């Protein structure tokens, strides 16, 4: 095939893939009957050497099996790796099993829904919880925002969480991943268990509502506090999306921990950054349009390295170095990072949303401010 024909074929393949992606999104966004329930699959634990699930009326079945499955005697079910499959209650089984109960299941101290799947993976066992998305959204609101936040802020968080989850669901189904997203801050914090009344009310009040930009679901990222102005998605996350623009906030200036300092000894900093010796110099050499650290020059043990701000924050620890909006200084072998804000800074500022709600703004206005150019759409 000639060069021109190869290019034409490549363009055709890319267009076909784009069309399929748009059709999948539009199918997901199509209005549903009132009784339809969107389900979500959440990876709540992985790399486990063994799993013990407890609950009432336990049943086990292979994935996709007809019928409820076979009963398990007692209130506990033990699962372990067995070659490429599972040992289920002492019997050999396949690579995955669905466990259901009459009520909530428990995995150690974590309360789950009444249906989970345990999957044998190369590095151990994974536990995947399956539940209605609005139950999941309530769990995210409860895990991500204080219950005392104004109701309109909680509603904004609910819509953002639902939109983000459905984007990840589309991606997972396209790649045939057995779960849609995780339960930690690397996805969005899903507390599970029994969310409080305020979180449940926010999920119910916005039931079925998602954010869209054109015909696409919005990747509705969010963070605790921006420290004055949100960050562009391109700079914060490598996601150059029109609705992840930098917008003024100013409503999170009095939030807990919005101003912070972190001091790290030179030797520990060198170890954290993988430089093999005490750090002698740290300098922010490039900043984003909002003043956050984009590139950082580091010297240690005669070695020089230029790291992205995101790399430095990841290596030091996301919780230890709360954001990239900082200045750094050195005194007597200790480096001090003095900064503002908490989180990557893109999308919804949670404390800013609470501030807008206290000013009388409703959740639609809050979402329109932090995700400019987006619209609300009710799926079901």
**Percent above pLDDT 70 for the chain:** 90
CA distance 45 to 212: 31
User: Is a pLDDT exceeding 50 seen at residue 16?
Assistant: no
The pair of three-digit structure tokens given for residue 8, joined into one six-digit string: 């034409």
CA of 294: how far to CAs of 40, 334, 348, in Å?
Answer: 35, 22, 21
Please list the alpha-helical segments (H only) found in the chain.
Answer: 3-29, 133-144, 151-175, 197-205, 233-237, 266-272, 309-316, 350-358, 363-370
pLDDT of residue 340: 97
Higher pLDDT residue, 209 or 17? 209
Higher pLDDT residue, 282 or 23? 282
Give the strands of the sheet with 375-378, arranged side by side. Answer: 216-217, 209-213, 375-378
- Contact in structure between 51 and 125 (CB atoms under 8 Å): yes
pLDDT digits (tens, 9 = 90+) for 182-212: 887 777 788 777 789 999 999 999 999 999 9
Can you give the residue ranges of every domain in the chain?
39-132, 133-244+346-378, 259-340
pLDDT digits (tens, 9 = 90+) for 101-139: 999 999 998 999 999 999 999 999 999 999 999 999 999
The pair of three-digit structure tokens given for residue 284, joined into one six-digit string: 């922010």
User: Is a pLDDT exceeding 70 seen at residue 249?
Assistant: yes
pLDDT digits (tens, 9 = 90+) for 42-57: 999 999 999 999 999 9
pLDDT of residue 21: 44
- Contact in structure between 221 and 346 (CB atoms under 8 Å): yes
CA distance 351 to 149: 9
pLDDT of residue 5: 37
pLDDT digits (tens, 9 = 90+) for 74-102: 899 999 999 889 999 888 889 999 999 99
pLDDT of residue 31: 52
pLDDT of residue 8: 40
Instruction: Find, among 96, 79, 81, 87, the residue nearest to 41 by Cα.
Output: 96
Beta bridge partners of 249: none
User: Is a pLDDT exceeding 60 seen at residue 34?
Assistant: no
pLDDT of residue 18: 38
User: Is a pLDDT exceeding 80 seen at residue 166?
Assistant: yes
Average pLDDT, the chain: 89
Q: Does residue 74 come out as left (phi exceeding 0), alpha (psi in the -120 to 50 range) or beta?
A: left
């Amino acid at each position: 095939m000639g060069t021109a024909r190869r290019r034409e074929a490549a363009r055709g393949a890319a267009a076909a893939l784009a069309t399929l992606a748009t059709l999948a999104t539009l199918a997901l966004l199509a209005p549903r009957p009132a009784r339809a329930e969107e389900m979500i699959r959440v990876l709540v634990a992985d790399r486990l050497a063994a799993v013990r699930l407890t609950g009432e009326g336990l049943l086990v079945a292979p994935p996709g099996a007809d019928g409820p499955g076979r009963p398990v005697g007692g209130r506990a079910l033990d699962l372990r790796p067995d070659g490429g499959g599972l040992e289920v209650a002492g019997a050999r089984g396949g690579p995955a099993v669905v466990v259901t109960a009459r009520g909530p299941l428990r995995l150690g101290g974590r309360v789950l829904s009444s249906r989970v799947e345990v999957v044998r993976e190369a590095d151990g066992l994974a536990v995947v919880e399956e539940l209605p998305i609005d139950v999941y959204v309530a769990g995210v609101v409860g895990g991500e925002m204080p219950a005392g936040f104004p109701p309109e802020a909680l509603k904004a968080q609910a819509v953002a969480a639902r939109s983000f989850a459905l984007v990840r669901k589309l991606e997972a189904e396209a790649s045939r991943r057995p779960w849609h997203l995780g339960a930690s801050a690397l996805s969005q914090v899903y507390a599970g268990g029994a969310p409080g009344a305020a979180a449940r009310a926010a999920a119910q009040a916005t039931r079925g509502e998602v954010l869209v930009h054109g015909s696409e679901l919005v990747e509705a990222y969010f963070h605790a506090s921006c420290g004055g102005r949100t960050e562009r998605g391109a700079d914060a996350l490598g996601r150059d999306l029109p609705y992840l623009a930098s917008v003024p906030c100013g409503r999170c200036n009095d939030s807990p921990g919005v101003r912070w300092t972190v001091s790290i000894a030179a030797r520990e900093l060198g170890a954290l950054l993988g430089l093999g010796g005490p750090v002698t110099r740290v300098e922010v050499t490039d900043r984003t349009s909002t003043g956050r650290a984009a590139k950082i020059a580091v010297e240690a043990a005669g070695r020089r390295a230029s790291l992205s701000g995101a790399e430095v924050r990841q290596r030091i620890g996301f919780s230890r170095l709360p954001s990239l909006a900082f200045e750094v200084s050195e005194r007597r072998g200790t480096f001090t990072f003095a900064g503002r804000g908490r989180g990557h800074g893109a999308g919804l500022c949670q404390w800013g949303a609470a501030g807008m709600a206290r000013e009388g703004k409703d959740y639609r206005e809050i979402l329109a401010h932090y995700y400019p150019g987006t619209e609300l759409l009710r799926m079901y």
